[in-house]
């Protein structure tokens, strides 16, 4: 929990320091492991070299001896030479017969015991069963590691003569000294690296958090009701650039959402105004109706005051008509549509943006070119696309197994073509000629009142909208208008 409360700058700082510490520990561990492996290889190879050299000496003695070369004569064959060989190679030499009984040793003062006098049975079995007829035993005593190799020596006829045993002490003082010196140098190097890492961590964390602070301030200043400025940061990292681009894209989408919200609010205001206008018109109609009915009942051509009564009735009707006229004028002034703006825009980008409001996963978008430019009102183009896609969604039954709506933007000659294809229930032949008529709708085909408005918008920009449909298979709407 405490880590979560730390700032990003502190987290980056500690992460870099921790990374250097872990790296230093890992390298030290690998170094120690490598040195230990080299030490083991060194002692193994050294024992093999000494063993080969000693056997070479023993073979020469066997060649020159006058004794009969048999196992019982081994102590006599090597009686004097075994001490010289041991001194030359600085290694103790023991010779056993083939049954594991000690015959002769180079140790001057030899204390007989069961361990050194006889070779264990399991060791004899290992020697005889291995292809090289060699076996090495490794053990530790008083903190020191010993290796003891056993192998056959042969007579001139390559028959086993005896078992050579070489006890070998692993002396690691030299290697340990080298290891300690290396670790000491490594520690100095990592202290220097730690200092560099601290400086870099401070600078890097400050740089990253400074950029994020700028982004955070911009986000806090973002408002739906005003035009928001985009972030422009030079020479930023890929991740920061991605974040900045996402924010800038969000600003664009926010502007589009603001336009849609304004449109929705305006439409709601229209509905409320329509109710108010209907109510206001009914108010003068009632006295007008009563006046006409009263005039109809009481009309008498022979009445001396007929002209006065006609004037009164006329004046009443004129007043109510003037009231209705003022209501109509006020509504007309309020209902004036804003002039459509012709702006240069990227059709592919706007169409893709319009599809973002839909959550249906089966809606797909494709374009032959990311840059298809045309003169069109951004809001009106979004309205065209959303209306047609919404109709496509309504045309697909809920039980449809694989619903699909494909929106594709392409160009042909000097025209932009936008196709919206669905695999819904299609349009019946009886309804095809009514699709673009105002106030026409049918729930089975999913066509709404907006198609008349869509047709009007497209034709305003010198375009055209057509469709093809097959019942049970789906519908394709094709919108075309001039490209830039």
Cα separation of 150 and 138, whole Å?
11
**Are residue 99 and residue 156 in the same domain, yes or no?**
yes
Helices (H) and strands (E) in the chain, counts: 12, 12
What was the pLDDT predicted at 39? 82
Q: What pLDDT score was predicted for residue 437?
A: 74
By CB atoms closer than 10 A (0-12, 13-18, 19+), residue 94 is buried
Q: Kindly tell me if the per-residue pLDDT of 223 is higher than 70.
A: no
**Highest-pLDDT range among 21-35, 43-57, 246-260:** 43-57
State which of 130, 149, 171 marks the end of a domain. Answer: 171
User: Is residue 227 predicted with pLDDT exceeding 70?
Assistant: no
| Model pLDDT, residue 438 | 62
> Are 296 and 322 in the same domain?
yes
322 three-state secondary structure: helix
What integer pLDDT is reported at residue 476 of this predicted model?
95
d(CA 454, CA 380): 9
Q: Where does the pLDDT of residue 224 fall: very low under 50, low under 70, confident under 90, or very high at 90 and above? A: low
- Cβ(124)–Cβ(100) below 8 Å: yes
Residue-wise over 145-174: b if at least 16 C-beta within 10 A, else e?
A: bebbbbbbbbeeeeebbbbbbbbbebebee
| Average pLDDT of the segment spanning 27-44 | 85
232 part of a folded domain: no
Domain boundary among 171, 189, 205: 171
Average pLDDT over every residue of 394-400: 87
Show the domain range for 471.
Answer: 343-482
* pTM reported for the whole predicted model: 0.39
pLDDT digits (tens, 9 = 90+) for 306-357: 778 777 778 777 777 777 776 665 555 444 444 567 889 999 999 998 898 8
Does any domain span residue 230? no
Domain boundary pick from 295, 314, 334: 334
Q: What CATH number does the domain containing 437 carry?
A: 3.30.565.10
- CB 42, CB 179: distance < 8 Å: no
Q: How far apart are CA 227 and CA 305, in angstroms?
A: 69
Does 89 lie in the same domain as 46? no
- If asked whether residues 215 and 247 sit together in one domain, one would say no
Whether residue 362 is found in the same domain as residue 466: yes
Q: What is the DSSP-derived secondary structure letter of residue 442? A: B
Greater confidence (403 vs 206) lies with: 403
The pLDDT of residue 401 is above 50: yes
Task: Kindly state whether residues 32 and 140 are assigned to the same domain.
Answer: no
Categorize the per-residue pLDDT at 115 as very low, low, confident or very high, splitting at 50, 70 and 90: very low
Q: Cβ(394)–Cβ(448) under 8 Å? A: yes
Q: Judge whether 233 lies within some domain.
A: no
Instruction: Take residue 402 and report the two structure tokens written for it.
Output: 């694989």
Q: Which residues of 29-55 are buried (b: 16+ CB within 10 A; e: fewer)?
A: eeeeeebeeebeeebbeebeebbeebb
Residue 112's pLDDT is what? 47
277 and 195 both lie in a single domain: no
Query: Could you tell me what percent of the chain has a pLDDT over 70?
Result: 81
- Specify the CATH number for the domain of residue 72: 3.30.450.20
What confidence score (pLDDT) does residue 185 get?
85
* 200 and 288 belong to one structural domain: no
pLDDT given at position 283 = 65
pLDDT at 449 over 60: no
For position 235, what pLDDT does the model report? Answer: 57
Q: How far apart are CA 147 and CA 137, in angstroms?
A: 6
The Cα–Cα gap between 245 and 208 comes to 16
The residue ranking higher by pLDDT, 408 or 35, is 408
Do 110 and 204 sit in the same domain of this protein? no
Q: Identify whether residues 59 and 85 lie together within a single domain.
A: no
Q: How many CB atoms lie within 10 A of CB 183?
A: 14
Q: What tokens were used for 342?
A: 């012709």
Q: Of 262, 232, 263, nearest to 248 (Cα)?
A: 232
């Amino acid at each position: 929990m405490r880590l979560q409360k730390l700032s990003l700058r502190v987290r980056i700082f500690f992460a870099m320091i921790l990374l250097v510490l872990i790296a230093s520990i890992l390298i030290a561990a690998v170094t120690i492991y490598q040195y230990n492996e080299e030490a083991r290889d060194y002692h193994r190879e050294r024992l093999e070299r000494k063993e080969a050299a000693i056997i070479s000496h023993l073979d020469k003695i066997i060649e020159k001896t006058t004794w009969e070369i048999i196992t019982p004569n081994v102590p006599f064959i090597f009686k004097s030479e075994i001490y010289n060989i041991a001194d030359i190679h600085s290694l103790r030499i023991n010779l056993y017969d083939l049954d594991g009984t000690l015959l002769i040793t180079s140790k001057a003062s030899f204390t007989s015991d069961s361990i050194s006098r006889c070779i264990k049975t399991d060791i004899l079995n290992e020697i005889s069963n291995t292809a090289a007829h060699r076996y090495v035993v490794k053990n530790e005593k008083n903190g020191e590691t010993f290796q003891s190799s056993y192998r056959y020596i042969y007579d001139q006829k390559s028959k086993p003569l005896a078992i050579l045993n070489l006890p070998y002490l692993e002396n690691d003082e030299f290697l340990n000294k080298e290891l300690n010196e290396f670790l000491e140098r490594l520690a100095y190097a990592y202290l220097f690296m730690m200092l560099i890492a601290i400086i870099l961590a401070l600078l890097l964390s400050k740089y990253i958090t400074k950029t994020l602070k700028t982004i955070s301030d911009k986000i806090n200043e973002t408002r739906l009701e005003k035009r928001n400025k985009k972030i422009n940061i030079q020479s930023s990292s890929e991740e920061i650039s991605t974040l900045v681009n996402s924010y800038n894209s969000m600003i664009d989408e926010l502007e589009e959402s603001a336009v849609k919200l304004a449109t929705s609010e305006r439409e709601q205001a229209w509905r409320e105004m329509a109710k108010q206008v209907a109510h206001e018109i009914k108010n003068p109609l009632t006295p007008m109706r009563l006046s006409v009915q009263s005039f109809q009942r009481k009309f008498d051509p022979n009445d001396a005051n007929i002209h006065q009564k006609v004037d009164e009735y006329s004046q009443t009707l004129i007043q109510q008509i003037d009231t209705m006229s003022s209501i109509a004028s006020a509504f007309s002034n309020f209902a004036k549509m804003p002039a459509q703006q012709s702006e240069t825009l990227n059709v592919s980008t706007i169409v893709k943006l319009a599809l973002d409001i839909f959550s249906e996963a089966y809606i797909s978008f494709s374009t032959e070119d990311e840059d298809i430019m045309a003169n069109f009102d951004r809001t009106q183009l979004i309205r065209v696309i959303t209306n047609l896609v919404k109709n496509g969604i309504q045309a697909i039954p809920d039980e449809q197994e694989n619903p699909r709506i494909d929106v594709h933007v392409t160009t042909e000659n000097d025209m932009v073509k936008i196709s919206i294809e669905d695999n819904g229930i299609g349009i019946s032949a009886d309804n095809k000629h009514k699709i673009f008529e105002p106030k026409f709708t049918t729930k089975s085909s999913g066509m709404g009142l907006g198609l008349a408005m869509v047709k009007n918008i497209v034709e305003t920009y010198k375009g055209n909208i057509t469709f093809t449909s097959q019942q049970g298979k789906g519908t394709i709407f094709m919108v075309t208008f001039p490209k830039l």
